[in-house]
Amino acid sequence: MENLILEKKDAVDWVYRGEGAANLVLAYTGSSPTFIGKVMRIQKSLRKGKNRVNGNGTLTTHERLLWRENKELTASPNRETVELLYVKHVMSPLLGPKHVDAGMRVLVTKEFLESVEKNVASYRPVWRVDSSLVDVNRDAVLIISDHSIFPNGTLKGIPCITVEIKPKCGFLPISRFIAEENAVKRTITRFRMHQALKLHNKEISEYSKYNPLDLFSGSRDEIRKAIEALYATPQNNFRVFLNGSLVFGGLGGGTDSTTALVGEAFEDALKNVIQADKGWRTNSFIQLVAETVYTSGVLDRLLEVQKLDTYDIEGAIHAYYNIISQPCMVCRELSKDKSSHRYTCLHSLSLDESLKIVKDYLIAATAKDCSLMISFRMKEHGDNLSGSSHNAVYLGSTKQVFEYKVYFIDLDLKPLKKMEHYYVLDKKIVSCYSQMVKTECEVDKAVKINAYGSVYR
């Protein structure tokens, strides 16, 4: 594909599949064998403020220092190659190459990107359109396999159903650098606390019922509980595709809760996949997903990578300031007794030690923000399981056997500069959640006073 350049006329073959904070994802609908079964990731730029974190998209001086062990990565001439090599050389060895697809870089013209921008605008959520657009100044995109289907498409007409899950952080931090006033972080999940901030900012209309600790628990029952919660309140954490087309969940932003109408439509969509009576298919599908998460053990590796964050942002931010050789703004904000007691040791670390802390934190950040794609294809009676390159799972409720494959996607390299953002966001999340708890306690107290004429103890 080195000599291939996508031009304006090619844009019509790429349709909107979804998007995250940094990239648009398009699916291919044309007839070129080169792109059948592929999706495209296109970087976005912000409508307001700076549209790039790192100027021309290459690594900064400090980032090259951070990733110096990988010469190919630090020598990359553009952001697309940086992203590709980061997935290939950093994330793939950690998560397992069987579950990671680094993709390939393909050149595009500015006219191609401008046409894509026009073509997808009406399909994007309004709030996404208001905040970002296609970065038409890029000269390349990333092409990766479409993990919502099997490599050979719908073999023998057998449907393929795929669930996309954004697991989020699966553990509670225990770092000694967490301040006493932020001790709630040790008992309440980051996901739960972030829900309070999103609710406050009107990004969601209700709390998600999902608890990441359930999904990462290693318990069949708890994993099923997590999948049921994701189905009930999918937000942007749970989507389902049938033969590559979205049949459940939101395209670019997500949806708060599953209504009876949506649930009925999804039940109908499952009729050629799950061999059960109407009214029981969704339950069986949830069982299928939960059993696959449990038996595959794929989340065990993801959790290991997430736990590379051993210092929490409250500790890692100090190592960050060591690296950029600037006065620590965090210590400046804190009172002298706190910073000297808790954080002075971090500013005594060697450069190598500081680099390791921050690098591990950023790798963990990638793992906390990635998505998991699990695709299923029913095995017909008489099919030889031993001849397949895919694993299989048995769905007891319908007595069906499914082949499945698991891939991690959205394994983006986090910019070093984002450490400052992570610290500020962490403070906002904890503050908002703590204020919410305080308000709820005051309301409960007021209700009890009204009910009993005095404070109920």
The string of DSSP letters for 341-396 reads HHTGGGGGS-HHHHHHHHHHHHHHHHHHH-EEEEEEEEEPTT--GGG-SSEEEEET
Tell me what the pLDDT averaged over the chain comes to: 90
Of 17 and 323, the one with more pLDDT: 323
Residue 84 contacts residue 1 (beta carbons within 8 Å): no
Residue 2 contacts residue 109 (beta carbons within 8 Å): no
Q: How confident is the model at residue 455 (pLDDT cuts 50, 70, 90)?
A: very low
pLDDT recorded at residue 386: 54
Average pLDDT for 349-363:
98
Average pLDDT for 67-89:
93
Q: How confident is the model at residue 55 (pLDDT cuts 50, 70, 90)?
A: very low
Residue 235 contacts residue 192 (beta carbons within 8 Å): no
Average pLDDT for 281-308:
97
Query: What confidence tens digit (pLDDT) does each residue in 247-262 have?
Result: 999 876 667 789 999 9
Q: How confident is the model at residue 446 (pLDDT cuts 50, 70, 90)?
A: low
Average pLDDT for 317-325:
97
| Closest residue by Cα to residue 385 from 405, 403, 408 | 403
pLDDT recorded at residue 19: 87
Query: What confidence tens digit (pLDDT) does each residue in 385-425 have?
Result: 555 667 999 999 999 999 999 999 999 999 999 999 999 99
pLDDT recorded at residue 85: 95
pLDDT recorded at residue 116: 96
Q: How confident is the model at residue 436 (pLDDT cuts 50, 70, 90)?
A: very high
Q: How confident is the model at residue 57 (pLDDT cuts 50, 70, 90)?
A: low
Q: Which two tokens stand for residue 161?
A: 């159903």
Which alpha helices (DSSP H) does 53-167 contain, by range?
Answer: 61-66, 71-74, 79-86, 92-95, 110-120, 126-131
Q: Could you count the other beta carbons within 10 Å of the beta carbon of residue 123?
A: 15
Average pLDDT for 132-145:
92
Query: What confidence tens digit (pLDDT) does each residue in 178-203 have?
Result: 999 999 999 999 999 999 999 999 88
Q: How confident is the model at residue 109 (pLDDT cuts 50, 70, 90)?
A: very high
Which alpha helices (DSSP H) does 7-125 contain, by range?
Answer: 61-66, 71-74, 79-86, 92-95, 110-120
Residue 209 contacts residue 132 (beta carbons within 8 Å): no
Least confident window among 53-67, 137-151, 429-443: 53-67
Q: How confident is the model at residue 53 (pLDDT cuts 50, 70, 90)?
A: very low
Average pLDDT for 339-349:
84
End-to-end CA distance of the chain: 72
pLDDT recorded at residue 443: 72
Q: How confident is the model at residue 113 (pLDDT cuts 50, 70, 90)?
A: very high
pLDDT recorded at residue 18: 87
pLDDT recorded at residue 58: 83
| Closest residue by Cα to residue 408 from 362, 374, 364, 359 | 374
